[in-house]
């Protein structure tokens, strides 16, 4: 099997979408068992679905495998509703597949990927090391890998089903953060193409779903604990099952009018976790988190969102329990 080795950068210059698709199809045979490997997130999931579509009548079988656990509720819902067939990479026998594809990732991204001999690699992340596969298409300028796959589908005159279009549409939204992050015109063209095929209500539901029913009780605690002072909202939730709920509640309180700062804290595994929110205009939540907690724990973030994690032992609480009032005092000491 003389495998042609191509340098990543060389393959996609001056190539039309049709030529690219033909070259991709060329590496497959009717009897092939194909494994598509992904690091599961919305973009990777949508790309894997698109590859399944591209190869539907051209190979014997296509399966999708991911090494990572899917824990985000948005992503779990996407997999469930769109019925995306998935296997954990650890549970598949690699020798059952004579062709392997890596999409929305590169071999050097994960040790498990590095061990696999891929036949095709399609990705939009910056080139990380050399990719030796028969087919390589890496376009780091693209906002979403799904945009690349839409170009393949369109080049083959393959109109996506509602489920596939919904996945691809959601993927572009997530990877470009609703076009507020880096993207190229191609992302906009693909997004526009999918607009009337995707089920946008479903996409909205994917975006909204980020709370477990068991987490609703924390809203009760957050509201009963809430302290308002000087255009700031403070709430300490006590012990939480996952720090994510602190983020959910801080984001919720950030909807309130006439508030400059939101500070939500909770205890998770012997650590105090504090979530900071502000408008990021002439303020920096990340810097504020650092100023208040940088010396006793890890703290940082962006202008509009910050986070601090402090071992409880560093707070010198003694017999006392941390409280919303203590959160307010700690913060007030460092803010005018």
Contact stretch for Mn ion (CB under 5 A) within 43-51, 129-137, 232-240, 292-300: 43-51
In the complex with Mn ion, the residue whose CB is nearer, 1 or 185, is 185
Rule CB under 5 A: which of 83-112 touch Mn ion?
A: 104
Q: Which of 131, 152, 148 is nearest to 140 (CA)?
A: 148
Q: Is 138 in the site for Mn ion (CB under 5 A)?
A: no
Residue 60 Cβ vs Mn ion, minimum distance, rounded to whole Å: 28
Q: Is 175 in the site for Mn ion (CB under 5 A)?
A: yes
Residue 102 Cβ vs Mn ion, minimum distance, rounded to whole Å: 12
Q: What is the DSSP string of 32-75?
A: -EEEEE---SHHHHHHHHHHHHHTTTTSSEEEEEESS----HHH
Q: Is 137 in the site for Mn ion (CB under 5 A)?
A: no
Please enumerate in sequence order all residues whose Cβ is within 8 A of that of 212, keeping only pairs 6 or more positions apart, or say none.
73
With vertex at residue 288, the alpha carbon angle to CA 283 and CA 290, rounded to the nearest 5 degrees, is: 140
Residue 250 Cβ vs Mn ion, minimum distance, rounded to whole Å: 26
Contact stretch for Mn ion (CB under 5 A) within 13-21, 35-43, 149-157, 217-225: 35-43
Q: Which of 170, 133, 152 is nearest to 55 (CA)?
A: 152
In the complex with Mn ion, the residue whose CB is nearer, 46 or 278, is 46
Q: What is the dihedral of CA 126, 132, 134, 135, to 10 degrees?
A: 0
Exposed e or buried b per residue across 267-294, where buried means at least 16 C-beta atoms within 10 angstroms of its C-beta:
bbeebbbbbbbbeeeebbbbbbbbbbbe
Contact stretch for Mn ion (CB under 5 A) within 139-147, 149-157, 179-187, 236-244: 139-147
# residues contacting Mn ion (CB under 5 A): 4
Instruction: Decide: 329 and 320 in contact? Cβ < 8 Å.
Output: no
Q: What is the DSSP string of 113-136?
A: HHTS--SEEEE-SPP-S---SSEE
Near Mn ion by CB under 5 A: residue from 145, 149, 289, 292: 145
In the complex with Mn ion, the residue whose CB is nearer, 188 or 238, is 188
Residue 214 Cβ vs Mn ion, minimum distance, rounded to whole Å: 31
Contact stretch for Mn ion (CB under 5 A) within 42-50, 189-197, 200-208, 264-272: 42-50
Instruction: Decide: 264 and 275 in contact? Cβ < 8 Å.
Output: yes
CA 320 to chain centroid, in Å, comes to: 39
- The pair of structure tokens assigned to 227 is 């302290």
Near Mn ion by CB under 5 A: residue from 24, 43, 147, 183: 43
Residue 160 Cβ vs Mn ion, minimum distance, rounded to whole Å: 18
Name the DSSP letter for residue 323: -
Contact stretch for Mn ion (CB under 5 A) within 7-15, 76-84, 137-145, 267-275: 137-145
In the complex with Mn ion, the residue whose CB is nearer, 148 or 274, is 148
**Rounded to whole angstroms, how far apart are CA atoms 56 and 186?**
25
Contact stretch for Mn ion (CB under 5 A) within 58-66, 141-149, 292-300, 327-335: 141-149
In the complex with Mn ion, the residue whose CB is nearer, 104 or 309, is 104
Q: Which of 7, 33, 28, 37 is nearest to 107 (CA)?
A: 37
**Rounded to whole angstroms, how far apart are CA atoms 330 and 260?**
17
| Cα dihedral across residues 3, 9, 11, 17: positive or negative | positive
Q: Is 123 in the site for Mn ion (CB under 5 A)?
A: no
Contact stretch for Mn ion (CB under 5 A) within 39-47, 113-121, 176-184, 273-281: 39-47
Rule CB under 5 A: which of 206-265 touch Mn ion?
A: none
Q: Which residues bind Mn ion (CB under 5 A)?
A: 43, 104, 145, 175
């Amino acid at each position: 099997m003389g495998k042609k080795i191509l340098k990543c950068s060389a393959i996609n210059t001056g190539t039309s979408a049709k030529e690219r698709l033909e070259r991709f199809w060329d590496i497959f045979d009717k009897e092939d068992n194909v494994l598509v490997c992904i690091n599961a997130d919305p973009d990777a999931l949508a790309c894997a679905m698109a590859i399944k579509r591209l190869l539907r009548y051209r190979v014997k079988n296509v399966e999708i495998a991911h090494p990572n656990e899917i824990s985000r509720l948005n992503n779990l819902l996407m997999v469930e509703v769109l019925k995306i067939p998935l296997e954990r990479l650890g549970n598949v026998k690699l020798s059952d597949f004579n062709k392997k594809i890596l999409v929305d990732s590169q071999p050097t991204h994960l040790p498990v990927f590095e061990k696999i001999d891929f036949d095709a690699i399609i990705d939009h992340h910056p080139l990380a090391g050399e990719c030796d596969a028969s087919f390589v298409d890496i376009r780091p300028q693209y906002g979403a890998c799904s945009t690349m796959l839409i170009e393949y589908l369109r080049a083959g005159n393959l109109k996506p089903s509602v489920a596939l279009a919904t996945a691809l549409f959601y993927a572009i939204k997530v990877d470009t953060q609703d076009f507020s992050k880096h993207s190229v015109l191609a992302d906009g063209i693909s997004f526009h193409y999918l607009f009337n095929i995707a089920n946008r209500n479903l996409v909205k539901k994917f975006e909204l779903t980020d709370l477990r029913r068991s987490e609703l009780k924390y809203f009760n605690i957050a509201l009963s604990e809430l302290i308002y002072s000087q255009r700031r909202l403070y709430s300490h939730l006590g012990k939480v099952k996952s720090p994510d709920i602190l983020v959910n509640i801080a984001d919720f309180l950030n909807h309130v009018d006439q508030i400059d700062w939101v500070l939500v804290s909770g205890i998770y595994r012997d650590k105090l976790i504090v979530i900071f929110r502000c408008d990021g205009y002439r303020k920096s939540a990340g810097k504020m988190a650092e100023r208040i907690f940088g010396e006793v724990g890890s703290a940082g973030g962006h202008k509009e969102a910050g986070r601090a994690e402090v071992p409880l032992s560093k707070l010198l609480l003694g017999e006392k329990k941390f409280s919303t009032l203590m959160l307010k005092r700690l913060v007030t000491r460092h803010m005018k």
